[in-house]
Amino acid sequence: MDGFNTFEKQDKVLVGMSGGVDSSVTVRILQDQGFSVEGAVIRFSPVHEAAVSAARQTADTLKIPLHVIDASEAFEENVIRPFCENYCTGRTPNPCILCNPTVKFRLLAEKATELGCRFISTGHYARVQVGKDGISRIAVPESAARDQSYMLYRLPQEILSRLILPLGEFEKDDIREMARALGLACADAPDSMEICFIPDGDYAAFIRARGFVAKSGRFIGPDGEDLGEHAGVDHYTVGQRKGLGIAAGRPLFVKSILPNGDIQLAETGQEYSSRLSLIDIATPDGHPLPAGDYLVKIRSTAKPVLCIFDGGNTVTFPEPVRAPAPGQSAVFYRNGEVFGGGIIDTTV
């Protein structure tokens, strides 16, 4: 935490709160470092009322002001609609990656400016580091098991230059221990594993309840055989093995979802790709991502692997990677820092 222990009370920070243990302890860490802390909780949708209530309870316990930001329209337009549209065409979007730059951090920064807060902060497990070039970049945290740097790769420089991420220096067990010492009700609450606006995890039901219609089609076997009609592309993702609902006599997985709605299945060993193309590439400074060698993660929980980026939109892997899914992101790292990323479009 070096470098964040000499602030004075006029250094105000607005913390994005959810009522959970991570953002709650973030408040106390910043208070202990001398910041004047205020909290903000974002009401993304009616599902988030419980988070608003929990944040209010924590703010009262920690004796800080709490501001409630309504984001329902922005969340619908920038996160829910693209999420549904992508799933209906056979892609697998990551809603947190959609939300962070366009809704969550944007609205948090706007509220901070309104309140006269110089800094913003959240309970993400990541760091912000400023390079010799003066560019602020997301970096991996102390806790490899909790690393959330992948989710933050699309944040622009105007956000990164104001962002403080104290939890980048801690393990989750440390944070829970601090929460217990503070007497926070959330100290032992389980981590949320589902998409926040679909708490029951039934993506297809959520999508269809909102009036979206997914592409239909057939299962196509490894040898081109017709294995019957599937339930709609919103039920499947590349790499999926369970829940296919077919009896093929051997284990099969989703290799690709074709533009016409058919789903190509394959046997174990055929799920690897050596090349992929990207769209909508973003970098911390807004400049094109330079060509060269990087470590890349192709999903949030994947281990980083070596790749070669051509400076345009193509990524090549010396060692093929398992089941990169169109709609997910490929995020590029050097020396533990995020240099950019893009949305996976096609794979080979």
Which residues are tagged catalytic? 99, 196
347: which strand partners?
276
106: which strand partners?
none
Q: Which tokens is 58 given?
A: 């924590």
User: Cα dist. 256→86, 221, 292, 340 in Å?
Assistant: 15, 11, 28, 26
Q: How many whole angstroms separate alpha carbon 186 and alpha carbon 171? A: 17
Helix (H) or strand (E) holding 37: strand 36-43
Q: Where are the alpha helices (DSSP H) in the chain?
A: 21-32, 49-62, 72-75, 81-88, 95-99, 105-115, 157-160, 172-182, 203-209
**Which amino acid appears at position 337 of this protein?**
E
36: which strand partners?
12
What distance lies between CA 250 and its chain's CA centroid? 34
104: which residues sit within 8 A by CB, 6+ positions away?
16, 42, 71
Backbone angles phi, psi at 158, to 5 degrees: -65, -25
**Long-range contacts of the stretch 301-304 (C-beta < 8 A, 24+):** 304/333
The 10 Å Cβ neighbour count of residue 225 is 11
